[in-house]
A and B are shown apart, each in its own frame.
Chain A
Amino acid sequence: MTEPPSKGAAIEVQDLTRRFGNFTAVDHISFDVAVGEVFGFLGANGAGKTTAIKMLIGLLAPTSGSAHVAGLDVATQTEQIRRRIGYMSQRFSLYEDLTVLENIALYGGIYGLSDEQISERSSSMLQTLGLTDQLVGKLPLGWKQKLAFSVALLHEPAVVFLDEPTGGVDPITRRQFWELIYSAAARGTTVFVTTHYMDEAEYCDRISIMVDGRIATLGTPRDLKAEWKVDSIDELFVRLARAS
């Protein structure tokens, strides 16, 4: 699985490791994600997914190994990386006491968009999502998540990291959410997504499954099902997770 990083990869990870004292949360993982790919990053709770993501987005320094995001080194070029990525965490993290437009204006300002860009993108965002301007705290969860995703894409990042974006969301909204993901990928944005819904895993271009800090398997959903002789990713996931 340790292929040499190819040119034009959006994410390149080589032997990335993170220890907390004696505990190794992420243990020499390596993989690439191509530009415009939807990459599913799976694993049971506590398998090390969140730690890995935190290293990729520069919230946590790696103990050893290297990783490049959008061609930039996560260990040394954190600030530049932050301009090129979007992030949506598993906890809803827009400001609930601000309105939709105020949140958009905030993040637009942070990423240095001009006032015209902000007003243009916010009106198109409201239109796409079918939202009116109101306090974010009053929105239903599904709407909040769709909004958070759109805000994460506001500055047109090269790579967007989604940490369990659809937790607690109803099936119809989840479907709509994935449509948003596909349209972002179609525009060339690389999507790095973690999820617990195995049906969603099937929507990804490629997936990896993490077990105990290592990547147990990686490939397209179809190849993996053939390789492990299972009917669904769900079955594969359970088998790998049980084996640990």
Chain B
Amino acid sequence: MNFRVLRALLKKEYLQIFRDKVMLRQMLMMPFIQLLLLSSAATFEVKTARMYLVDNDHSETSRGLVEHLRASGRFVVVGASPSMEPANDALLSRDAGMILGIPHDFERDIVRTKSAKVQLIYNAEDGALAGVTNSYAQQIISAYARDLGASLRPMVAESPSIDIRTRGWYNQALDYKDYMIPGILVQLLTIIGTLLTAMNIVREKELGTLDQLNVTPIPRSAFISAKLIPLWTIALVELAIGLTVARFVFDVPMRGSLLLVFFAASLYLVVALAIGLWISTAVDTQQQAMFSSFFLIMIYLLMSGLFTPVRSMPTWAQWIAEVNPVKHIIVIMRAVLLKGAGIADIARPLTILAVSGAIVLSLAVRQYAKTSR
């Protein structure tokens, strides 16, 4: 490779990037906005559920149950009525998120048969919310039953009891942010790598400057390196910014080696940039470049385990995820940052990234050769 040519081209790319202040500002703002938004918005944690009460028992036991739910701080009673109709209406109009129905012989059943039923009806329009709320409610109800048992026979602690202690490894506080932020950083790398590369090259096509370059004796390798290296460095700078914000604003733990994180990210970026290069050879306008990248990125991200666990997917989708580079870099980022994994622990995904980088890049470069003539 001719390094004088490469140097001239690189200088031009950096000059252009740093001259476009609006674009630069947007690029630097992106990690902040994404982290701020995603890390605080992307959570399924339930704060308070609005509960509509249909208590037909009006006993001390039923009131005790409601009081327990309330005291947990997770449930507020937004309305009560003896019949189901207004409750249903509240569910339909979204004034309430759930209905607690207590049948009128609730207390009597407990006293006589030691077993009673309550109804929990959720607005499952928002399924995730309903599921989480339900698991809280169930836990509180069984705790109440246990307390009730103890208070009815305070002297006799005869019933066998198992004490369950739980501990979450790597993320004791079950902080959703810690889990999301490594993934969000990957999303950032992907957008910069693929979208901006594709747009950058196609822009020169649209402006006609690419034809001008094609009639010069620039070696293909120099042209492609000069296009990819600046965006590669920018993406790594963005990653550094993102990690700093994650560390100091969001207190995300960084248990593993940051060097390893950057090493894996640089490998992954080769794939992301090569995909952008490949898109740029297939399209003619920035608009097309944008929509094609967008389309691909969307599929990649959705199938990567960023939002939903890969292991919950059907088997065929898991196989697809296996060849999805985004999945592997997310696994690596989470393992290194949250679990402190070392290079031996992530050898497999790292190898897959390196191999796919080599394959995609050589395909894209070949494709580029065909279209530039």
Query: Which positions in A face B, CB cutoff 8 Å?
Result: 57-61, 79-80, 82-83, 85, 87, 89, 91-98, 102, 105-112
Closest to B211 in A: A89
CB distance from B208 to the nearest CB of A (A): 4
CB distance from A122 to the nearest CB of B (A): 13
Which residues of B from 203 to 222 have beta carbons under 8 Å from A? 207-209, 211-218
Q: List 30 A-B contacts (CB under 8 A).
A: A57-B215, A59-B211, A59-B373, A60-B373, A82-B216, A82-B217, A83-B217, A89-B208, A89-B212, A92-B208, A93-B209, A93-B211, A94-B209, A97-B15, A97-B16, A97-B19, A98-B12, A102-B12, A102-B15, A105-B8, A106-B9, A106-B12, A108-B8, A109-B4, A109-B7, A109-B11, A110-B216, A110-B218, A111-B216, A112-B5
Q: Which residues of B contact A80 (CB under 8 A)?
A: 217
Which residues of B from 1 to 39 have beta carbons under 8 Å from A? 2, 4-5, 7-9, 11-12, 15-16, 19-20
The distance in angstroms between the C-alpha atoms of A131 and B2, with both chains bound, is: 31
A109/B9 contact (C-beta < 8 A), A60-B373, A83-B217, A97-B16 known: yes
The distance in angstroms between the C-alpha atoms of A80 and B20, with both chains bound, is: 35
The distance in angstroms between the C-alpha atoms of A98 and B372, with both chains bound, is: 24
Contact yes or no, A95 B12, CB < 8 A:
yes
Q: Which residues of A contact B2 (CB under 8 A)?
A: 112
The distance in angstroms between the C-alpha atoms of A111 and B215, with both chains bound, is: 11
Closest 4 CB pairs of A and B: A109-B8, A91-B208, A82-B217, A93-B212
Name the contact of A98 in the complex, choosing from B9, B16, B208, B215 (C-beta under 8 A): B16
Contact yes or no, B215 A58, CB < 8 A:
yes
CB distance from A180 to the nearest CB of B (A): 18
Contact yes or no, A98 B214, CB < 8 A:
no
CB distance from A154 to the nearest CB of B (A): 11
Contact yes or no, B9 A110, CB < 8 A:
yes
Q: Which residues of A contact B211 (CB under 8 A)?
A: 59, 89, 93
Closest to A107 in B: B216
Q: Which residues of B contact A109 (CB under 8 A)?
A: 4-5, 7-9, 11
Closest to A96 in B: B207
Interface string of B292-332 (1 = CB under 8 A from A): 00000000000000000000000000000000000000000
Closest to B6 in A: A109
Closest to B17 in A: A97
Given contacts A95-B12, A97-B15, A110-B216, list 19 more A-B pairs with CB under 8 A. A59-B215, A59-B373, A60-B373, A83-B217, A85-B215, A89-B208, A92-B208, A97-B19, A98-B12, A98-B19, A102-B11, A102-B12, A105-B8, A106-B8, A109-B5, A109-B9, A110-B5, A111-B217, A112-B2
